Amino acid sequence: MNDSPQRDLPPYDRTALGDRLQQLTPEIAEQVTRAFLERHPEWLSKYGERARKFGIEDARFHIDFLRGAVEAGSVQAFEDYCEWAARLLQSRAVASRFLVENLMQIETALGAGLSPEEQAVIARMMEAGRAACDRDKARPACPDTPLSLTRAVYLQSILIGARAGSVRIVEEALKNGAGVFDIYAQVFQESLYEVGRLWQEGKISVSVEHRATAITQFVMAGIYSRAMPARPSAPPRQAIVTGVAGELHQIGANMVADVLENAGWNVEFLGTDAPHAGIVDAVRAQDSDLLCISATMLSNVPNVVSLIRDLRPHSSRLRVLIGGSAFRSKPELWMAIGADGFAADLSGAVEVANRLSPRRADRETPGA
């Protein structure tokens, strides 16, 4: 489904409602968990105090994602989250009706702290979210690409933790003519997406996922330098690539930094979970043309919104390009949150970056 950001939503102040949800989160998470366990005492007898701890964590998570959808103004974003959460719980033998019940409790509990207009927004999001808990979408498959076979073998290799073997598989593909960024997109990215699905389905543990990720970062670092241009194109434009505060997913942003560098940009890669003040300082110090912000989790979209807002007074020329899974199925969100562009993948990142920030005359080298 591809909706416009404000589909079916009455007008509301996104930041104000987002902030309100944030303030209410700790109290509401405790309150709904208490009420849930009173209604289902068998959870306490089965899991003991862990039931309370996980209940509160889960409720916080639901409200954090609700806040992300509220600040993005997207009903679909919350539907996607609920569908994902229902699948995750099902794979851990928790029926989706418990999630539906939890969402209803959260909606009711939030009601008292919100205005009637805000309640209407939350009701619309929750209604769509609850319906999505029982959506039965087909499991996404890895796309067929020229490197499908390499990806299949590489995936098995990282799942069993074979670091040296994973290096060899990629070296072999490069020897056979694959490009570094084809490997990034078709082998690393698609393998990691599959690792994520396997974790979500409860088929691999968190430690296997961590190990697979660590191996991929290692292999990626080993081949990165082969994609660098022999000489940076002159004059280079200045870009900063960063993951937003609270975001721990770094590999997508790292890939974007590499591909832009290869396209002749001067790139400063700040890693991820960077404090806003540090990003603002870097933009000012570098007099950047472009800031690329990566966000994977919908719950981090409010931080993207506030970062863009904080940055605007510091540079009128700066263009902001956003990307990452938080926006992937909702490409129109960039407009709604004040960015200048969005790209879903690596070739798109270069194309949109070049379009947003044409070469600057004041940095032109004579005769270039």
Contact set with ligand B12 (CB under 6 A): 81, 84, 185, 189, 192-193, 195-197, 199-200, 209-210, 213, 246-253, 255-256, 292-294, 296-298, 321-325, 328, 343, 345-346, 349
Nearest to 152 by CA among 201, 187, 183: 187
Residue nearest to ligand B12 according to CB distances in the complex: 323
* CB-nearer residue toward ligand B12: 47 or 84: 84
Q: Which residue has the tokens 């940095």?
A: 363
How many helices and strands, by DSSP H and E, does the chain display? 17, 5
Q: Are 249 and 221 in contact (CB under 8 A)?
A: no
Three-class DSSP category at 73: coil
Nearest to 333 by CA among 68, 21, 64, 16: 68
* CB-nearer residue toward ligand B12: 135 or 328: 328
Q: Report the nearest approach of ligand B12 to the CB of residue 247 (Å).
A: 5
Q: Report the nearest approach of ligand B12 to the CB of residue 85 (Å).
A: 7
Q: Report the nearest approach of ligand B12 to the CB of residue 7 (Å).
A: 19
Three-class DSSP category at 34: helix
* CB-nearer residue toward ligand B12: 28 or 256: 256
Label each residue of 270-286 as H, E or C.
Answer: CCCCCCHHHHHHHHHHH
Cα(321)–Cα(316) distance, rounded to whole angstroms? 15
Q: Report the nearest approach of ligand B12 to the CB of residue 50 (Å).
A: 15
* CB-nearer residue toward ligand B12: 16 or 248: 248
320 φ, ψ to 5°?
A: -115, 120
Q: Report the nearest approach of ligand B12 to the CB of residue 158 (Å).
A: 11
* CB-nearer residue toward ligand B12: 106 or 114: 106
* CB-nearer residue toward ligand B12: 114 or 187: 187
Count of beta carbons in the 10 Å neighbourhood of residue 26:
13
Q: Report the nearest approach of ligand B12 to the CB of residue 320 (Å).
A: 9
Cα(127)–Cα(130) distance, rounded to whole angstroms? 5
Q: Report the nearest approach of ligand B12 to the CB of residue 117 (Å).
A: 28
Query: Is 368 exposed, middle or buried (CB count within 10 Å of its CB: 0-12, 13-18, 19+)?
Result: exposed
* CB-nearer residue toward ligand B12: 114 or 239: 239
Q: Are 181 and 188 in contact (CB under 8 A)?
A: no
Q: Report the nearest approach of ligand B12 to the CB of residue 337 (Å).
A: 13
Using CA atoms, how far residue 244 sits from 5, 223, 241, in Å, is 21, 26, 10
Cα within 13 Å of Cα(148), Cβ side: 6
Cα(96)–Cα(86) distance, rounded to whole angstroms? 5
Q: Report the nearest approach of ligand B12 to the CB of residue 5 (Å).
A: 18
* CB-nearer residue toward ligand B12: 114 or 128: 128
Beta strands in the chain (DSSP E): 238-243, 266-269, 290-294, 319-323, 341-342
Q: Report the nearest approach of ligand B12 to the CB of residue 232 (Å).
A: 20
* CB-nearer residue toward ligand B12: 23 or 217: 217
